Amino acid sequence: MPERTFPEARLTKAAALGNVGAFSELVRQYRAGVLRTAFGILGSAQEAEDVAQEVFIKAWNNLPGYRGRGSFASWLYRIAVNTSVDALRRHRDDIPLDDLQPASKEDLEESVLHRDVHERLTQAIRSLPPGARAALVLREYEQLSYREIADVLAIPIGTVMSRLHYARQALRKKLAPQE
Partner 1 sequence: MSHPDPCQLECYLDDELSDPIRETVRRHVEQCPPCLERLEALRKVSLALHRTLPTEQMFLSEGEFWLHLARNLPAGRPRTWPLVPFLPPLLLAMAGTLIQAMILTTLLGFELAGLGLMPSLGPTVSSELSSLVSHRGLQQWLHASLGWSSEQVAQRTIHYWDELNWPNQNVVIFVTVLLTLAVFMSVIVTFYSFWAMCWSGSARPNRQKEVWDHGIRSYR
Residues 109, 164, 161, 56, CA torsion sign? positive
Closer CB to partner 1, residue 18 or residue 156?
Answer: 18
Composition of the chain by helix, strand, coil, percent to 5: 75, 0, 25
Distance CA 15, CA 155 (A): 28
Distance CA 7, CA 93 (A): 42
Contact (Cβ atoms closer than 8 angstroms) between residue 98 and residue 122 = yes
Least gap, CB of 73 to partner 1 (angstroms): 18
Least gap, CB of 79 to partner 1 (angstroms): 14
Least gap, CB of 74 to partner 1 (angstroms): 17
Least gap, CB of 93 to partner 1 (angstroms): 21
Closer CB to partner 1, residue 155 or residue 175?
Answer: 175
Contacts with partner 1, residue ranges (CB under 8 A): 13-14, 16-24, 27-28, 31-32, 35-36, 39-40, 45, 48-49, 52-53, 56-57, 60-62, 64-65, 67, 100-104, 107, 110-111, 117-118, 121-122, 125, 136, 139-141, 145-146, 161-162, 164-165, 168-169, 171-172, 175, 179
Distance CA 97, CA 126 (A): 9
Closer CB to partner 1, residue 78 or residue 121?
Answer: 121
Write the CB contacts of 29 (distance below 8 Å, at least 6 apart in sequence). Answer: 8
